[in-house]
C-alpha cells in the first residue's frame, strides 16, 4: 500500500491498549503522539488496563506465569474490538505470540543497558558484603551472583515507581533497573552507574517498544491490514533486525522468566553482531556465545549463536534452572 492509499484508508478512530503504569502510559502516549502527527484526521485514544502481572506483586514472574501476564488482557481487548493495537516493552512480550496476533512495528531502541540505582553507593562494587540488591530478573540475579557473590539478592516486583519507593524506604541498598525506563520518565538522575553489556548483558528486546495488532487470519483482517500500513512508518529497521536475532536465541531455548538468558545485538551497516548468555540463577554455571552475520538475516544469526550455546551444554544449564524453579514452587 503506498502512502496515498494509506491516507485514503485512515480510520476515524484508533484505540491503543496499554498497561496503566506510568512507564506504560508514557510509551502509549509516545505512540499516540507519533501517529497523531502522521494522521491528524484520526482520533487516537488510549485504553488503560491493569494486567495480572501488575496485580501479583508478592511472587517472582517465573513462579506465576511469566511474561504473558503483562500482555494477555491487552490482547483480549483487541480480540473483543475494544482496542486496535497494544504498546508493549518488548522484553515483556512472550517469544511465541498467541495465534491471531503479530508484532506490526518495533520502534527505535532506547538505551538497552541495565542501570544501578542507589541512594548511598556509587556502584555494585562499592556495596559492602551482605548488602541487599533488588532485581526482578533471574538474568540480572545470575550476573550479579557470578560477579559479586558477597551480595544478597532479593526479588523486587512492581512498576518502576513502586521499585524506586522500596529502595527509598531502605528495603534495598541498591536495585538494578532497565536504563530505558528511567530515561523515558526523566529519571536519569537516579542512575548511579550504567552496567555495560560486557558486565551485564541485556535481556532480549530490552529498551525496545513493540506494537502488537490482530493478524490477518482473524476476524476483521481487512482492518488489520490498514492498521499495519499505518504503523509502518514507526518501524525502525535496525532495531527490528537486532531484536529479531535476540528473540530467536531466547525462542530456541524456550525463553521465559524461568531461564536466566541474555541476548544483545547491534547493527553496523549491513552487519549484525549478536552476543548471548545462558546461566543458572546462582551464576555458578554459564555459557556465552557470539556471532556476526547479515543484518537482513537476523534469525539466522540468532540460530547460529543458539547452536554455539548448545555446544556448551546450554541444555544442561537450562535443566538445572528448571529443576531449581520446580524446587522453589
**And the C-alpha cell for 270?**
549491513
**Which of these is catalytic: 5, 54, 58, 92?**
92
The CA-based angle 55-58-63, given to 5 degrees, is 90
Helices assigned H by DSSP within 232-313: 237-252, 298-310
Surface-to-core class of residue 9, CB atoms within 10 Å of its CB (0-12 exposed, 13-18 middle, 19+ buried): middle
Among 101, 303, 64, 73, which Cα is nearest to 210's? 101
Q: 316, 313, 109: which is closest to 206 by C-alpha?
A: 109
Q: In what order do the strands lie in the sheet with 43-49?
A: 43-49, 13-19, 85-89, 209-214, 101-106
Strand partners, 115: 177, 194
Residue whose entry in the numeric block shows the C-alpha cell 532497565? 178
Alpha-carbon distance of 240 to 54, in angstroms, equals: 27
Q: Catalytic annotation on 92?
A: yes
Catalytic residues: 92
Amino acid at each position: 500500500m503506498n502512502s496515498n492509499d494509506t491516507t485514503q484508508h485512515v480510520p476515524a478512530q484508533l484505540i491503543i491498549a496499554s498497561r496503566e503504569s506510568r512507564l506504560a502510559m508514557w510509551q502509549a502516549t509516545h505512540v499516540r503522539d507519533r501517529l497523531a502527527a502522521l494522521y491528524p484526521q484520526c482520533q487516537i485514544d488510549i485504553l488503560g488496563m491493569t494486567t495480572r502481572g501488575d496485580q501479583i506483586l508478592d511472587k517472582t514472574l517465573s513462579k506465576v506465569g511469566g511474561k504473558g501476564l503483562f500482555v494477555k488482557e491487552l490482547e483480549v481487548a483487541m480480540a473483543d474490538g475494544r482496542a486496535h493495537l497494544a504498546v508493549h516493552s518488548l522484553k515483556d512480550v512472550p517469544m511465541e505470540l498467541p495465534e491471531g496476533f503479530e508484532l506490526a512495528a518495533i520502534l527505535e531502541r532506547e538505551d538497552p543497558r541495565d542501570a544501578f540505582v542507589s541512594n548511598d553507593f556509587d556502584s555494585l562494587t562499592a556495596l559492602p558484603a551482605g548488602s541487599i540488591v533488588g532485581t526482578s530478573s533471574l538474568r540480572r540475579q545470575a550476573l550479579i551472583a557470578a560477579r559479586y557473590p558477597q551480595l544478597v539478592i532479593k526479588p523486587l516486583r512492581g512498576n518502576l515507581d513502586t521499585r524506586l519507593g522500596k529502595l527509598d524506604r531502605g528495603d534495598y541498598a541498591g536495585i538494578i533497573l532497565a536504563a530505558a525506563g528511567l530515561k523515558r520518565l526523566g529519571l536519569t538522575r537516579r542512575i548511579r552507574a550504567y552496567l555495560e553489556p560486557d558486565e551485564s548483558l541485556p535481556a532480549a528486546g530490552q529498551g525496545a517498544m513493540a506494537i502488537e495488532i490482530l493478524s490477518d487470519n482473524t476476524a476483521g483482517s481487512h482492518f488489520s491490514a490498514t492498521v499495519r500500513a499505518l504503523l509502518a512508518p514507526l518501524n525502525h529497521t535496525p532495531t527490528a533486525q537486532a531484536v529479531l536475532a535476540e528473540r530467536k536465541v531466547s525462542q530456541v531455548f524456550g525463553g521465559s522468566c524461568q531461564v536466566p538468558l541474555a541476548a544483545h545485538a547491534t547493527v553496523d551497516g549491513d552487519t549484525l553482531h549478536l552476543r548471548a548468555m545462558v546461566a543458572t540463577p546462582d551464576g555458578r554455571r554459564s555459557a556465552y556465545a557470539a556471532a556476526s552475520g547479515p543484518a537482513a538475516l537476523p534469525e539466522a544469526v540468532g540460530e547460529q549463536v543458539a547452536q554455539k550455546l548448545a555446544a556448551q551444554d546450554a541444555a544442561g544449564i537450562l535443566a538445572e534452572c528448571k529443576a531449581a524453579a520446580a524446587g522453589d514452587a
